[in-house]
Amino acid sequence: MARQETILTVFVASPSDVDEERNCLEKVIRDLNTAWARELGIRLDLVRWETHAYPSFGEDPQAVINAQIPNDFDLFIGLMWYRFGTPTGRTGSGTLEEFQRAKERFDRAPSALQLMIYFKDAPAPLPPSELDPEQLTKVGEFRSSLGKEGGLYWSFSTVDEFEKLVHLHLTRQVQAWQSKELTRQPGKNESIILAKEVNGLALDVQGDELGLLDLMEQFEDEFAALQEITERIASATVDIGEKMQERTAETEQFMAGPDAANRKAVQRLLAKVAADMDQYVYRMDAELPMFNHHLYAGMNALIQASQMTLEFAIEDEDFKQVKDNIENVREFHETLATVEGQIKCFQEAVENLPKMTITLNRAKRAVVNALQRLIKEFQRGQSMAREAEASFASLIEQKRGADTILDS
């Protein structure tokens, strides 16, 4: 049976160092289309020069790509890491030229397309001798210029993190587009707004597939677990900090006493300090994988819930849970920020310890490395928490918009 679909075109621009992310974007869009195409009649079409350009000649390779790829896409996704790209003769790189062409369209008609820019914040997989400092400088200059252009870019560290972020961002873009369509043509998508009961029956028939409330509850459970882990990490960090102060006082007292010249006694005392540090590292090595697991499990639940809310409206009884989840996420974000500050203070104290024995020096390095991993995970957690809060906020706006249309 014939059916109509709305195609939203997504164009991706990037140098070659983020091929893994480009391929990941293709997977994300395929997953979204599987969820939306039949139920909503919405499909995302990913445009890449590798798949949409063909051999030809022109002023230069980028000019050929410009001529062959239509400039009427709905979403522009830019990706950069440590490479800026190859100059085109008109601009510093093909990626920059593609961004500038999209930005010119946006400046003329801001509602015609949306621009999403991402920077990978991770060590390059190359030795320093093979990195091009000029390329890195240009990436930094482009990133800095976005603020002047009124742009908000997003950073990520891993492919998994990028997958979660772009999944949520594309979902929110489609939510925004759908809201505009409903406002412009109130009767057009009325079936989508009122389809919760029908879709709910369809989910029941399928058996074990999770519903919206199941996913909301799963998200809440995962972030509650994250809160507990964060509090345990905070408690362990406070404990080791207090022990370090005690050991420092013991060491100072010993060094001022009559046995200060007893090298063996000094080494035994410093070995206790090292043992305390080793125990802390052992504890963090156990907590970090659990933190990572619950963070991504929670975000996966949120992604599935966000996809599902495009298919039907949020009911009043669900509305409170969405608001509660926003408060839970904010509390988690605040806790992470507080504990991150404690960790940084402890890291500074450890780094300032004198280099007195091999055992102590080894323990210091292990603690500093563990703290750096913690800080990185906490920063990732804060980024994900911001995305979760924004996603729940968009659900609230979606419900308010739907209620307004139904009341009118």
For the chain, domains (ranges, CATH) are 6-188 (3.40.50.10140), 208-407 (1.20.1050)
Query: Given this model, what pLDDT does residue 324 score?
Result: 78
pLDDT, tens digit, for every residue of 355-408? 778 888 888 899 899 999 899 888 888 888 888 888 777 767 765 555 554 454
Region 217-236: what's the mean pLDDT? 89
* CA dist., res. 223 & res. 147, Å (int): 32
Residue 317 pLDDT grade (very low, low, confident, very high; cuts 50, 70, 90): low
Query: Given this model, what pLDDT does residue 137 score?
Result: 93
Query: Given this model, what pLDDT does residue 116 score?
Result: 92
Q: Which residues of 27-43 are buried (b: 16+ CB within 10 A; e: fewer)?
A: ebbeebbebbbebbebb
Mapped onto helix, strand or coil, the DSSP state of residue 79 is strand
Mapped onto helix, strand or coil, the DSSP state of residue 58 is coil
| Per-residue pLDDT at 207 exceeds 50 | no
Query: Given this model, what pLDDT does residue 5 score?
Result: 76
Q: Between residues 211 and 402, which one has the greater pLDDT?
A: 211
**Cβ neighbours around 165 below 10 Å, total:** 20
Query: Which range in 159-173, 244-258, 261-275, 308-322 is most confidently predicted, on average pLDDT?
Result: 159-173
Query: Given this model, what pLDDT does residue 299 score?
Result: 84
Query: Given this model, what pLDDT does residue 311 score?
Result: 60
* CA dist., res. 23 & res. 41, Å (int): 24
Measured CA distances, 236 to 280, 342, 346, 364, 367 (Å): 7, 11, 11, 16, 13
pTM for this model (two decimals): 0.70
**Cβ neighbours around 238 below 10 Å, total:** 13
Whether 182 and 401 have beta carbons less than 8 Å apart is answered as yes
pLDDT, tens digit, for every residue of 273-296? 888 889 999 889 889 889 888 888
